[in-house]
Structure 1
């Protein structure tokens, strides 16, 4: 029995060490400042379709639309399309008074996938060069479209992900969520881009070659996390994703623990759903050298950072309490994990508030652990995150 426990301990150690090493490598890679994608302004203005799927987003949609309309980009070169799903009549009336395209839908079972597909069917496919996906709570600067247009002027660029940052830091949970977002940006976007890999998509603030997006979305049937399935499809087709670290989109951060639980449940479900849907393509991808796809597939099956932190800490503590000689090796990878995450946090977040926010990590771990047992039902219905922050 003791021999079996020893083997199991080493199995867990190797499994979790791979997760930690992966994060550490890309975290270190993110420390180097990469070259800008576009070095000169674009000569021509591409035609943009700005798509905003809005399900019960009455509290935030108008400020988002106004930000999109305030671009220093030719008015005749972009259209803002809002897909209004279950929003109040007065909100739709206010939107109708603005120079946008308003598509009102009323799905029995609403999803972002259905809304975006409805918009693509509604719009003229030949009228646009680029599809830009913006969440209903996002805020973009006036130069945003121009910066994305510059990127698409670079030969070979078909997909870009912009830098999503926190719109609000009004609670400790929001601060923790903002830090988590920036860790993702460092490891899965800057770090990957600096090593020549594709940056991860994030669901909003992402732009696509319009025909490419149209073809990929019209065959997308995911309930939650449409971006997970979308990026797996495109990566398998050999499309490279670029990252624009200096082009920002403000995104509302989770303010309460209950919303964190619901949002992460949706994310975990989408993560594992996309893995099992595309796992069968791993061997052909390895054979054909589709390393971006293989890397993304690994991300889908790997532990989330909160779960990884919790599991490694609990195992390390258990070994110490039992006076096990294996404790040192476990505390070693725990320190490496902490180092990987610390290196990925931007300097501006290193404040006393960070310490307060970190106090929420154990509770977040428990919520994520509970989510592991509720993933199946999460992929059967759309889990909506309620938005709305005072002052926006």
Structure 2
């Protein structure tokens, strides 16, 4: 696990090829699923209309699930499309499929945002460059919208480490970038056809990603296309969110492992199998904590009893150093500041939350676990 992270952490620093496009021409349908997001959706919708991109080339559509009547009325006052949906059990995949059946028009790409996401003014222009190159799946560069608590800083830091290892690093070595759940764009017809077969309760983006990779579709990474995402601010929300993510990760590992091995051996689909390998990886907080604990125990045994835990203190120490090196190589310069150092003090608590989460995964992937959003301003 440590070697895997270290290889891609180093690769993320390789020079990348500049992608250039012509005049804007991609017609975007911007879908914003909003489940009980009355506190942020109006701001998100208004901000989505501020793109430095020809207005005739994009349409914003809010998928309103369980929003208050007054929120619906205010949305309908905006020059956007509002699609009202209602389900016995709400999921993002159901909302998206309902919208794709309802909305009429001619589009080249479908862009999916979360209800709290704010696109940088040139976001669509940056995504258009990749779409013009024929990319069918493009992941934008998602960054933190807020850093107002220690957990928010840690969440934003984790996102940027993921961006470096699983997006920059992977693309540098010719593999697909990982999807993130929002700020992602797909060829309109292809996406619509794929979504018909997706009924995920949690982690719809993981199922979508697996099917894209199984089909041999490369996922590009638009590193200069920034979209701002609200980071979790409280420990309880952090735990619920990670519970949902881990549950989906292990669910799809079990569901697709055999298929991944088959496609690797029979068809040479390394991209697809690499995604399966990612599902095997422990969360970095857990991995780092366990390695630190094992290195400490091995060293203590060596001092007290004269022998170390197999395969030796040097091994565990080397793993610890490799893991730390992978993380440091992946941290953007902007995070090297006092605020980050203070946030690191929350790591022991995050480690305990992750440990407890592992024992609470049962059933989490069978019901929709909503992460509430409250922040509008980019801080």
Counterpart of 1:387 in structure 2 is 373
- Which residue of structure 2 aligns with residue 8 of structure 1? none
5+ unaligned residues in a row in structure 1: which ranges? 1-18
SS at match of 1:165: strand
Which of residues 31, 35, 44 in structure 1 aligns to 2:13? 31
Residue 268 (structure 2) pairs with residue 289 (structure 1): yes
After superposition, give the CA deviation of every residue in 1:98-130 in whole Å (9 maximum; x if it has no partner). Answer: 111111112121111111111111123x62110
Alignment counterpart, residue 307 of structure 1, candidates 281, 286, 296: 286
- Secondary structure of 1:379's counterpart equals helix
Q: Does 1:346 align with 2:332?
A: yes
Q: Distance between the aligned counterparts of 1:274 and 1:229, measured in 2?
A: 7
- The aligned length equals 370
SS class of match (2:362) = helix
SS at match of 2:366: coil
1:369 aligned residue = 355
What 5-or-longer segments of structure 2 have no aligned partner? none
Structure 1 residue aligned with 2:317, among 308, 327, 331?
331
**CA distance in structure 2 between the partners assigned to 1:113 and 1:391 by the alignment:** 27
Confirm or deny: 8 A CA contact 1:67 1:141 kept in the other structure. no
Secondary structure of the residue aligned to 1:204 is coil
User: C-alpha distance in 2, partners of 1:282/1:69?
Assistant: 40
Structure 1, 238-247 or 354-363: larger mean CA deviation: 354-363
- Could you state the TM-score of these two structures normalised by the residue count of structure 2? 0.95
Structure-to-structure mapping, 1:174-323, within 5 angstroms: 174-286=152-264, 287-323=266-302
CA contact (8 A) 2:157 2:335 kept: yes
CA deviation after TM superposition for structure 1 residue 349, in Å:
0.4
> Separation in 2 of the partners of 1:141 and 1:180?
21
Query: Aligned partners of 1:153, 1:370: CA distance in 2, in Å?
Result: 46
Q: Please say if residues 42 and 149 of structure 1, whose CA atoms lie closer than 8 Å, have aligned partners that are also in contact.
A: no
Q: Secondary structure at the match of 1:168?
A: coil
Aligned partner (choices 54, 58, 62) of residue 78 of structure 1: 58
Deviation at 1:157, TM superposition (A): 1.1
Alignment of 1:116-135 (within 5 A): 116-124=96-104, 127-135=106-114
1:93 corresponds to which of 73, 76, 90: 73
Q: C-alpha displacement at 1:33, in angstroms?
A: 3.1
Once residues 162 and 261 of structure 2 are traced to their aligned partners in structure 1, the CA distance between those partners, rounded to angstroms, is 27
Per-residue CA deviation, residues 227-259 of structure 1 (Å, 9 max, x unaligned), is 000000010000000011111000001111111
> Which residues in structure 2 correspond to 1:89-168 (within 5 Å)?
89-124=69-104, 127-154=106-133, 156-168=134-146
Report deviation, 1:185: 0.3
CA distance, structure 1, for counterparts of residue 126 and residue 6 of structure 2: 30
Give, in whole Å, the separation in 1 of the partners of 2:154 and 2:258. 36
TM-score of the superposed pair, with normalisation by structure 1: 0.92
Cα drift, residue 188 of structure 1? 0.2
Contact in 1 for aligned 2:40/2:376 (Cα 8 Å): no
Please give the per-residue CA displacement for 1:56-100, whole angstroms capped at 9, x wherever unaligned: 111111111111111122222211111111111111111010111
Native 8 Å contact 2:30 2:111 kept in 1? yes
Distance in 2 between residues matched to 1:104 and 1:221, nearest whole Å: 19
The Cα of 1:319 is off from its aligned counterpart by: 1.5
Q: Distance in 2 between matches of 1:111 and 1:386?
A: 14
Cα distance per residue 1:254-274 (max 9 Å; x no partner)? 111111001011110111111
Distance 1:311 1:97 in 2: 53
* 1:390 Cα deviation after fit: 6.2
Q: 2:346 aligns with which of 345, 355, 360?
A: 360
